[in-house]
Amino acid sequence: RSFEEEGLERIPDLRLSQWLFQAGLNRTPDAAKQGLLTEIMTVIKSENMTPYYKSVCRQLHLNIDQSLVDQMQAANDARFKELDEKIKKAEDSDGETAIRDAMIAKAHY
């Protein structure tokens, strides 16, 4: 059984924090930094993590790819619209549990 099935909150993926920390260390070899940055960017892109991407760029002194930001923001906007519609539908026709579930889904996103 998963944590969610048992009513426990989701545990955040701490690998990103570790990778970012290691990539920011002066003693980390350049090849390793590139590998870490590739891993970080893979997760950022797959999860459309726009604010985190901007934070990573600031911390690692990288240029922000505005087209990537725009693409991820558009995906986030579409997902939030979908989640808001789910909440509205639950408020209109479903019970309190459905409303709660829809709000939790939005909060986790």
Tens digits of residue pLDDT in 52-83: 999 999 999 999 999 999 999 999 899 888 88
pLDDT at 94: 73
Residue 64 corresponds to which tokens in the numbers above?
């922000």
Residue position matching structure tokens 């989701």? 10
* pLDDT number for residue 1: 46
Residue 51 and residue 47: Cα distance in Å, rounded? 11
Report the distance separating Cα 37 and Cα 39, nearest Å: 5
Backbone angles phi, psi at 19, to 5 degrees: -60, -45
pLDDT above 50 for 93: yes
The C-alpha atoms of residue 24 and residue 60 are separated, in whole angstroms, by 6
Measured distance CA(97)–CA(59) in Å, rounded: 41
Three-state secondary structure string covering 13-81? CCHHHHHHHHHHCCCCCHHHHHHHHHHHHHHHHHHCCHHHHHHHHHHHCCCCCHHHHHHHHHHHHHHHH
Higher pLDDT, 88 or 109: 88
